[in-house]
Amino acid sequence: MIKFDEQKQLDSTAGALAIRKEIERIAEDVTGRGYSNLCYLGIGGTYASALQAQSHVQENSGMEIIAQNAALYNTTGNRRIGENTVVVLSSVTGTTQEVVEAVEKVKALGAVVIGFVDKADTPLEKLSDYSIRYPQNEQLKFFMLADRLMYLAGDYPQYEKQYAEYDRYLPQALVDTEKAADEFGKRFAEKHCEDAMHYFVGAGNQYGSTYSYAMCYWEEQHWLRSKSIHAAEFFHGTLEIVDKNTPVTLFMGEDSQRPLAERVKNFLPRVCGNYTVIDSAEYPLVGISPEFRGDISHLVTHAVTQRIDAHMEQINRHPMEIRRYYRQFPY
């Protein structure tokens, strides 16, 4: 397999799960101090991860959760965010300008900030009241924190059993998924490497994946035009531009919003001859109980799309690290 290091992948997921004790300590501290709501703050890919966390918490808890775009907060604000808010962020560089500005503003209001920041001594790490450094695995880190906070609030009794399974089985399950998806990823990349436009559809925690995959992977990294659509909105506009040749990919998860994706799945064969379904339910995830699969279905489909990306990069001879404009000059 190209661009695949099995041991590195295993270590990466296992390492992320291993920081849970630190996350639990922070969750217990902020719970002891008291808070009224939870805000996941981001922009671009981190905002997509915030949408996933929001969907997950809304499904499992009565806790108020906000997925806040940093740039929108800087212009419009959000009066629900204040001194009793716990703000959660993630950053690879620790310098994303919109997020830095937003965090400075929420700190001035008295909000508590938890930062998953990969680089030490950066603006975002310094602004965080609690800082955790561990690379990648952003969605898993976001969910681990949310799950512990929900557990402490009395809303997530499955926490201990669920994470005992994840510790034992999740790293291998995701590696097995990626290996099983390799041939599919190659065929998909060969078929769609020159698409003039591609539509991605998803719901639940898959919508954050859909949003991120279209914008942060196909557009930013592959330079291929795309659009993300929530399955709940598909039948209120997008369906009218789909014909037999339109490239459409539907991401299907296993959480409570799966019926929204199933409705799109049932419709597409009637009008489209160029659609693909990527369904987390098709991968076995050995050792993971059925009731816990929905909470990680976005990690499963991400493992699948990583194989698409590896082959797309090779076919188009376009390294995913190249940027024409992003951080290349002031704007």
Give the domain-ending residue among 109, 135, 157: 157
Position 326 in a domain: no
Q: Specify the pLDDT at position 294.
A: 98
Question: Which residue pairs from 276-280 have beta carbons closer than 8 angstroms and sit at least 24 positions apart in sequence?
Answer: 276/188, 276/248, 276/249, 276/250, 277/249, 277/250, 277/252, 278/249, 278/250, 278/251, 278/252, 278/304, 278/305, 279/252, 280/206, 280/252, 280/253, 280/254
pLDDT at 320: 98
Q: How many Cα atoms occupy the beta-carbon half-sphere of 330 within 13 Å?
A: 0
Q: What is the DSSP letter of 215?
A: I
Tell me, what's the pLDDT at 103? Answer: 98
Per DSSP, the three-state class of 112 is strand
pLDDT value for 309: 98
| 85-91 sheet: strands from edge to edge | 65-69, 37-42, 85-91, 112-117, 130-132
117 lies in the same domain as 235: no
The dihedral formed by the CA atoms of 251, 256, 257 and 259, expressed in degrees to the nearest 10: 90
Go through the chain and tell me how many residues it has. 331
- Whether 324 maps to a domain, the answer reads no
What is the per-residue pLDDT for 311? 98
Whether residue 15 contacts residue 41, with contact meaning beta carbons closer than 8 Å, is answered with: no
Answer yes or no: pTM beyond 0.85: yes
pLDDT in tens, the chain (331 residues): 999 999 999 999 999 999 999 999 999 999 999 999 999 999 999 999 999 999 999 999 999 999 999 999 999 999 999 999 999 999 999 999 999 999 999 999 999 999 999 999 999 999 999 999 999 999 999 999 999 999 999 999 999 999 999 999 999 999 999 999 999 999 999 999 999 999 999 999 999 999 999 999 999 999 999 999 999 999 999 999 999 999 999 999 999 999 999 999 999 999 999 999 999 999 999 999 999 999 999 999 999 999 999 999 999 999 999 999 999 999 9
Residue 159 backbone phi and psi in degrees, to 5? -50, -55
- Domain boundary among the residues 157, 180, 206 is at 157
The angle at the Cα of 300, spanning 299 to 303, to the nearest 5 degrees, equals 90
Residues 6+ apart with CB under 8 A from 101: 70, 74
> Distance of CA 137 to CAs 53, 194, 325, Å?
13, 29, 26
- Domain count of the chain? 2
The residue from 157, 180, 203 where one domain ends is 157
Predicted confidence at residue 32, as pLDDT, reads 98
With respect to residue 321, please indicate whether it lies within any of the assigned structural domains: no
Domain that includes residue 258, residue range: 169-316
State whether 174 and 100 are in the same domain.
no
Beta bridge partners of 42: 69
For residue 210, the model assigns a pLDDT of: 98
Tell me which residue of 310, 305, 279 sits closest to 293, measured CA to CA: 279
Helix axes 297-316, 205-212, angle to 10 degrees: 20
